[in-house]
Amino acid sequence: MIRPDTLPERLVFWALVATWPVYLVGGLYILGPVLAWILAGFALLSLYLGPAIRPDLRATGPVPLLIWGWIIGMAVMLIALWVGHMNWDMGVKTTIKSTIGWAKGWALMCLFPLAGVVLPLRRDILVRAYCILGATTLALAPLMLLAPFVGLPERVFTSPLKVVGGPGPEYFTVFLYTIDPGSGQPRWQFFAPWSPFAALLGVMMVLFALEEKDRRWMLAGVVAGVLMILASKSRMGLVGLVFCTTLPRLAPFIFRGFAWSALAGMTALAGLFITPLQHGIFGAIDAFKSARADSTRVRATLQRIAYERWQEDAVWFGHGRVQPGPHLVEYMPIGSHHTWFGLLFVKGVVGFAAFAVPFACHALVAVFDATRSKRGALPMGIFLTLVLLSFGENLEIQTYLIWPALIMLGIHCRERQIQP
């Protein structure tokens, strides 16, 4: 039977299993950063004390180069934030507030992998906890799915915990469902602040569940993940369900001769039907965009404004923070809804590189390991999901919910150290 043995495993296991109870009191946005700093504190203490510390906190090995890349990158991100605030004369109060935001967002991108690589945490514990979360989601699903049809309200309440501060009240609000303003149809976001993010969390759940050895728990996780994707009615979630789950499992065939022969044959065959294929691909892309045309238009306009403002005003260190958008983008903040354009706008080239370099290096290692070993399938799937997420969300704001994936990336680094 899989059960947590060490203090870090108990913290991680019960934090993930308790996702729904914590969500129902509006505490998820607080839980993620608090857990990150506690685990990172244990990791630093373990590295400092070495064998003198209690066995269930003892470091499993040194910090690898990939994790140092994340640590340095997020430190550079903080420096870019400070310089950007100074360049735009934002004042001490705003700078302190933004620094706290960094500690609750970007900092978690290095703290959770650090904890995963240093502390005695097992992959199976995270996988089982995710499947238990999936079973809980299935148990609550009938209430949420029936809510709009029996007259229950969309919003249950907004937690008083919002006084701690955050990106917005939706991070502390308990929803049963929401109504899409474009179609007038209900969409479900489960324990996420909005539906598209819930869909990619569903993709994460499927990825973790596929690693489960117990078929019953695996089935619960997969069904719950697929339900989150379908009920959220997110186009990106459907893309993630197909590609993020299949590509990592096809990766081992890259170095096999018959795979290249098959690819060559398919390429030659595609050449005979290039025109209908081209029309089909472009038609599929147009259908994908037109599924929610208003959302596509707003996002594209936001990205264009962010890119132009970055080029014109603040190439190296950005504008320091997001800024209110015009009526053209429905007053959405400039620098939001896209990690890469947001980084350029808010933190400039320096901040963009501080995230892009460790992200790309770690992703390449995960892809290479997926071609050589089954242990690389989950990390590769995680990176594919993060890439999709980065095109529609600001990753730093969502780290409080993707933390199990970040810990898994650290665990994978440790596994590679033990058995290269």
Instruction: Say what the pLDDT of residue 265 is.
Output: 55
Q: Per the structure block, which two tokens stand in for 333? A: 């903040």
Chain segment 269-315, per-residue pLDDT in tens: 555 555 554 554 445 445 544 545 556 677 778 778 777 877 877 78
* pLDDT exceeds 80 at position 260: no
Q: What angle do CA 86, 92, 93 make, to 5 degrees?
A: 130
Q: CB atoms < 10 A from the CB of 32, how many?
A: 23
Tell me the domain boundaries of the chain.
7-256+313-418
DSSP class of 167:
S
Q: Which residue has the tokens 């620098």?
A: 335
Residue 382: name the closest of 187, 123, 136 by CA. Answer: 123
**CA–CA distance, 353 with 76 (Å, rounded to integer):** 9
CB 45 within 8 A of CB 315: no
At residue 68, the 3 state secondary structure works out as helix
- pTM here is 0.89
Instruction: Decide which of 127 and 162 is more confident.
Output: 127
Instruction: Say what the pLDDT of residue 77 is.
Output: 93
At residue 324, the 3 state secondary structure works out as coil
Residue 322 one-letter amino acid: V
Instruction: Say what the pLDDT of residue 41 is.
Output: 94
* pLDDT exceeds 90 at position 111: yes
Q: Per the structure block, which two tokens stand in for 175? A: 């929803």
CB 334 within 8 A of CB 325: yes
* pLDDT exceeds 80 at position 316: yes
**CA–CA distance, 175 with 76 (Å, rounded to integer):** 37
The strand pair at 186-187 and 178-179 is best described as antiparallel
Q: Which residue has the tokens 């060559």?
A: 264
CB 164 within 8 A of CB 172: no
Residue 345: name the closest of 80, 73, 75, 69 by CA. Answer: 80
Chain segment 222-242, per-residue pLDDT in tens: 999 999 999 998 888 899 999
**CA–CA distance, 307 with 334 (Å, rounded to integer):** 10
**CA–CA distance, 378 with 9 (Å, rounded to integer):** 19
CB 212 within 8 A of CB 131: yes
Chain segment 18-48, per-residue pLDDT in tens: 999 999 998 999 999 999 999 999 999 998 8
Task: Determine the number of helices (DSSP H) and then strands (DSSP E) in the chain.
Answer: 16, 4
The dihedral over CA atoms of 228, 233, 236, 239, expressed in degrees to the nearest 10, equals 80
**CA–CA distance, 222 with 224 (Å, rounded to integer):** 5
